[in-house]
């Protein structure tokens, strides 16, 4: 009995993925609402603001058209920006790589305010502020 080669296995996994997950059938940037709109094979439309997606943060409306969809329907490509998004990750709420998402979450956490944080900042300021970083003595 002959073992299937890697190419056949990859094709089988691809077919399973295509039958299990929604695929993008069309994609466009809607200037009126300022969102990228994906029409999925399930009949659902997914819309999100481009500044929330990695690689599209600084994009102008003119740079967001055209949008290309990969033959599998899982890849969304913005040729003018050379940026790509992966539909299964978008559906899970990930608009970028793990590192990019962590930086965005950390930036949001740093912006948070509370009574306790305000009081701590006041106490720190009264005692001279943040301690200076110690530098190694130059010989």
Tokens of 100: 């990019």
- Please indicate, yes or no, if residue 131 is contained in any of the structural domains: no
For residue 30, the model assigns a pLDDT of 97
Domain count, the chain: 1
Q: Going residue by residue through the chain, which has 139 residues, state the pLDDT in tens, using 9 for 90 and above.
A: 456 688 888 888 777 777 778 999 999 999 999 999 999 999 999 999 999 888 898 999 999 999 999 998 999 999 999 999 999 888 877 665 566 566 655 655 555 577 777 787 778 777 777 777 777 666 5
Is 44 inside any structural domain?
Answer: yes
Domain hosting 26: range is 6-95
Residue 34 lies in a domain: yes
Residue 105 within a domain? no
What is the pLDDT, as a whole number, of residue 1? 47
Q: Answer for the pair 95, 88: CB distance below 8 angstroms, yes or no.
A: no
In a domain, 88, yes or no: yes
**Does any domain span residue 39?**
yes
Query: CATH number for the domain including 41?
Result: 3.30.2020.40
Question: Does residue 86 sit within a domain?
Answer: yes
pLDDT value at residue 83: 95
**pLDDT given for residue 98 in this prediction:** 64
Within a domain: 138: no
Question: Distance between CA 127 and CA 138 in Å, rounded?
Answer: 29
Q: Which pLDDT belongs to residue 96?
A: 59
Residue 126 exposure: Cα atoms within 13 Å on the Cβ side? 6
Backbone phi and psi for residue 34, each to the nearest 5 degrees, phi listed first:
65, 40
Tokens 């962590």 belong to residue = 102
């Amino acid at each position: 009995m002959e073992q299937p080669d890697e190419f056949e296995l990859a094709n089988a996994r691809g077919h399973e993925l295509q039958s299990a997950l929604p695929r993008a059938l069309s994609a466009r940037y809607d200037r009126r609402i300022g969102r990228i709109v994906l029409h999925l094979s399930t009949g659902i439309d997914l819309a999100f603001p481009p500044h929330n997606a990695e690689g599209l943060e600084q994009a102008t409306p003119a740079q967001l058209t055209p949008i290309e969809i990969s033959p599998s329907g899982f890849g969304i490509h913005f040729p003018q920006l050379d940026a790509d998004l992966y539909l299964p990750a978008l559906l899970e709420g990930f608009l970028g790589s793990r590192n990019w998402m962590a930086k965005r979450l950390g930036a949001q956490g740093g912006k948070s305010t509370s009574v306790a944080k305000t009081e701590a900042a006041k106490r720190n300021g009264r005692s001279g502020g943040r301690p200076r970083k110690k530098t190694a003595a130059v010989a």
